[in-house]
Amino acid sequence: MNFQEVLDQKYLGDTFLTEKNIEEKWNLICIDGLAPIPIIPSSSYDRSNNISVSYPSKIDIGKILFLQGESVEDYDALLDEQRICFYKDHTGPITQSEYTFKNDYLLLKSRYLTNYLKKYKKTAPIWGSFFHFDLKPSINWEIKSSPETLTAIDDLRIDNELYFDNLFLSVTEPNPFTRFLKLYHLLELQFDIHTAELIRALLDSGNKEREISSKLRDYANKDLNRLQSLLKERCSDLESLCNKLNIIESFETKAIEIFYISGRQSNPLKKSDFLSVIELEEKFKKSNIDSLGGYNFQTLIPKLTAYWIYRIRSSIAHNKFGEYIMDTDDEDFIVNFAEPLLKEAVKQCFSK
pLDDT of the residue at 217: 62
Residues of the chain with pLDDT > 90, as a percent, come to: 62
Q: What is the three-class DSSP state of 264?
A: coil
205 in the same domain as 94? no
In a domain, 152, yes or no: no
- For residue range 108-122, list pLDDT tens digits in order: 999 999 999 999 999
In this structure, which long-range contacts are made by residues 196-203, counting pairs with CB atoms below 8 Å and at least 24 apart in sequence? 198/233
- What letter does residue 61 receive in the DSSP assignment? E
Q: Note down the domain range covering 187.
A: 162-349
116 in the same domain as 228? no
123 in the same domain as 14? yes
219 in the same domain as 312? yes
Q: What one-character-per-residue DSSP string does 74-117 give?
A: -GGGS-HHHHHHHHHH--SS--SS-EE---EEEEEEGGGHHHHH
121 in the same domain as 26? yes
In a domain, 46, yes or no: yes
- For residue range 268-304, list pLDDT tens digits in order: 999 999 999 999 999 999 999 999 999 999 999 999 9
In a domain, 115, yes or no: yes
> How far apart, in whole angstroms, are the C-alpha atoms of residue 303 and residue 345?
11
Number of compact structural domains in the chain: 2
- For residue range 41-85, list pLDDT tens digits in order: 999 999 999 999 999 999 999 999 999 999 988 888 899 999 999
Mean pLDDT of the chain: 89
